[in-house]
Structure 1
Amino acid sequence: MTPTLTELLSDAVAAGASDLHLVAGRPPIHRVDGRLEASPRAALTAEELRTLLLAELSVDQRRRFEETRELCVSMQVPELGFIRVNLATELGRIDASIRLGHLEIPSPAQLGIPDAFLDQVRRPNGLILVTGPTGVGKTTTLNAVVARINAEERKKIVMIEDPVEYLHPPGRALIVQREIGVDAPGFDRAVIHALRQDPDVVVIGELRDLDTVSTALTAAETGHLVLGTLHTTGAAGTISRIIDVFPAPQQGQVRTQLATTLQAVFTQRLLPRADGRGRVLAYELLVVTDAVRNLIRDNRPHLVSNVIQTGRALGMRLMDHMIRDLYEAGEITYETAVSATSDRRVIERR
């Protein structure tokens, strides 16, 4: 008998997976601690997979998928929480990549988020970014930070997500969660509308295009705290990415805006633990000081690493130094440390 999607999701949760991949002709595939592992269940046929997945969609979602052959939606599954479902077709056959959710939002301490970064999130305004490659938990970090604000402060928070992955319970804050494709057509328009909703904090799931970045900078410039994510791999690269998304004639003005509004950049990676039991957070933290603002204005973001290196008193860390410290503490292996650093000499010279 063909299993239900809930049964397949329960299998994945029991295996400790972060993602579930469903492809015709293959057994369900779990991603566990960054590695792909096949489920013991039998392979699903193309027809079984199509029937299983389309049964979970609303009429509107099914229409959108049939029109575009792609779909990204969130679903709330009893006892499992929100899941993020990405549907696509391969040689005309439907497949799915599903990011598993959690009923409870992890605390910053559980994730290893440092107090120095949380201190920045307590600022009343400015732009704070969580960055890193795909699949390293940026959305979870963002939600953990929002949960901390919800526990401590009486603020209105408007979250714009694609899709929603965690449902925030009532707390001290008033939280409005809007999903792209359901509550708004796109990030840029959703941010513009959010600014008319009397927010203190605007959370943008991903700064993915020029219009969204531009609107985020304007929101931060007009007295709001703006939190967002970017697919960049370090503080210097994040600054360059934001500026380079704009046409050359606008970049001088954008450098000024960014220098004025940027408060912190938190870059993260997840590395396999030396004992094989899960993954550990490695991070880089830039706290924006007057020296950093001058470097942004002068178009010298490549020198930001020097500021981070000398800013330990403010909680700043370079990613390579964090990885070295994890290796020296026995948290990760030498091979993992060397492959994860941008300069292996940081590991070898100690």
Structure 2
Amino acid sequence: MDRCIQYILNEARGLGASDIVMKEEQRAVYRIKGKLMESEVSVSKAQMSRFFTLMQPAGYVQEYIGGGTSGMDVGFEENGRYRANFFSSMGKKCAVIRVIKNEIPSLTELGLPEHLSKRVLNKRGLSLIVGKTGSGKSTSLASIAQDILMKEKVHMITLEDPVEFSYSGLKGELTQRELGTDFAGFERGIHDALRQSPDFLMIGEIRTLGALKAAISAAEAGHGIIGSIHSMGAARTLTRMLSMFQEQEKEFVRFQLSQNLNFILSQKLIYSESQTELDYELFINSTSMENTIREGRFHQIDNLLLLGEKQGMKRFKHKNKDES
């Protein structure tokens, strides 16, 4: 590992940065509490080329020449764990690196309710964590997964792009699979996992209609499915999911979701000078929510969340204008 890049990684972790942006012949940039801060250290063309060569998996050169990008897991024992995406800008090599925490925080440490993992264990079904990029979805998924595996002798299979966290001290069995290395696509990965004796599946991101159909079917078959979607709020997430289906399919899909959806946890990070706060909305699929989903009355969900506080539901503390 080049000493300059090693220094950047160490400095970013020491400053509590969530991301690092590196470009040829430019100073590295850190994202700290949502804001960008420029480092004093720049990365040369030769250093970026060596970094690319060191990190590229088999077949990466062909993809890069063709103009594609590649997301990959990059781990260094002495520095901790990182997630990197390599790409080009105006013909110059660039990398955006996510700094992964050395330890998976507990749900309590994240500021999330402890009963989430119990709900996954007891009800199984489809449990979703939603939010924008950088809202901590992967960390919350890992926290729920670790809590389950530390308490129960179950087999969990994860489908990730790329594999991020390392787990330890588990009572259960964990099989981590990485996109591009262990499976070709999330839809295929879900179907294959169902033949690998899972109790639970953790899906890093449900991106396509095929993956969504496979996840709903797996939940319907009695498996516990935990996955993430780029969305915000329960009502918007359900609307987005339904919009992926043909009109003639929607009534049946609403029925499937009403029966098999467990919860939707929507989250975002609120930054201040002194701290980073995780704000969340929790939709729990109660009897009244089941009817609402089945009948497609998503506009009523916000009011039902307010009425469902005694059942553990919660609305966002901080409401953005675009979420009104």
Q: Distance in 1 between matches of 2:155 and 2:249?
A: 32
Q: Does the aligned pair in 2 maintain the 1:269–1:282 contact within 8 Å?
A: yes
SS at match of 2:122: coil
Count of matched residue pairs: 323
What are the superposed Cα offsets for residues 295-332 of structure 1, whole Å, 9 maximum, x if unpaired? 1111111111111110111111111xx23xxxxxxxxx
AA matched with 2:23: V
SS at match of 2:26: coil
Partner of 1:104: 103
Give percent identity, aligned residues only: 30
In structure 2, relative to structure 1, the CA distance for the partners of 1:210 and 1:107 (3 Å cut) is: same
**Larger deviation, residues 110-119 vs 293-302:** 110-119
Displaced runs of 4 or more, over 4 A: none
TM-score norm. by structure 1 comes to 0.88
Residue segments in structure 1 that go unaligned for 5+ positions in a row: 324-336, 344-350
Partner of 2:165: 166
Find out whether 1:5 has 2:5 as its counterpart. Answer: yes
Q: Does the aligned pair in 2 maintain the 1:124–1:223 contact within 8 Å?
A: no
Find out whether 1:286 has 2:287 as its counterpart. Answer: no
In structure 2, relative to structure 1, the CA distance for the partners of 1:117 and 1:106 (3 Å cut) is: same
Q: Does the aligned pair in 2 maintain the 1:80–1:103 contact within 8 Å?
A: no
SS at match of 1:27: strand
Q: Distance in 2 between matches of 1:76 and 1:55?
A: 12
**Larger deviation, residues 284-293 vs 79-88:** 79-88
Q: Distance in 1 between matches of 2:20 and 2:131?
A: 21
Q: Distance in 2 between matches of 1:202 and 1:238?
A: 20
Q: Quote the offset at 1:4 in angstroms.
A: 4.0
In structure 2, relative to structure 1, the CA distance for the partners of 1:341 and 1:243 (3 Å cut) is: closer
**Larger deviation, residues 137-146 vs 18-27:** 18-27
**Larger deviation, residues 287-296 vs 76-85:** 76-85
AA matched with 2:137: K
Q: Distance in 2 between matches of 1:219 and 1:5?
A: 42
SS at match of 1:28: strand
What are the superposed Cα offsets for residues 14-46 of structure 1, whole Å, 9 maximum, x if unpaired? 1110101002232000000110100111x3333
Find out whether 1:255 has 2:258 as its counterpart. Answer: no
Greater strand share, structure number: 2
Q: Does the aligned pair in 1 maintain the 2:127–2:227 contact within 8 Å?
A: yes
Q: Quote the offset at 1:216 in angstroms.
A: 0.1
Q: 1:296 aligns with which of 293, 297, 314?
A: 293
Q: Distance in 1 between matches of 2:68 and 2:161?
A: 18
AA matched with 2:289: V
SS at match of 2:59: helix
Find out whether 1:39 has 2:39 as its counterpart. Answer: yes
Q: Quote the offset at 1:341 in angstroms.
A: 7.8
AA matched with 2:117: L
Q: Distance in 1 between matches of 2:287 and 2:84?
A: 42
Residue segments in structure 2 that go unaligned for 5+ positions in a row: none
Q: How does 1:260-275 map to 2 (within 5 A)?
A: 260-273=259-272
AA matched with 2:310: A
AA matched with 2:47: E
SS at match of 2:236: helix
What are the superposed Cα offsets for residues 41-62 of structure 1, whole Å, 9 maximum, x if unpaired? 1x33334322333223244334
Q: Distance in 2 between matches of 1:340 and 1:156?
A: 42
Q: Does the aligned pair in 2 maintain the 1:308–1:318 contact within 8 Å?
A: yes
Q: Distance in 2 between matches of 1:234 and 1:292?
A: 14
Q: Quote the offset at 1:68 in angstroms.
A: 4.3
**Larger deviation, residues 172-181 vs 103-112:** 103-112
Find out whether 1:225 has 2:214 as its counterpart. Answer: no
Partner of 1:131: 130
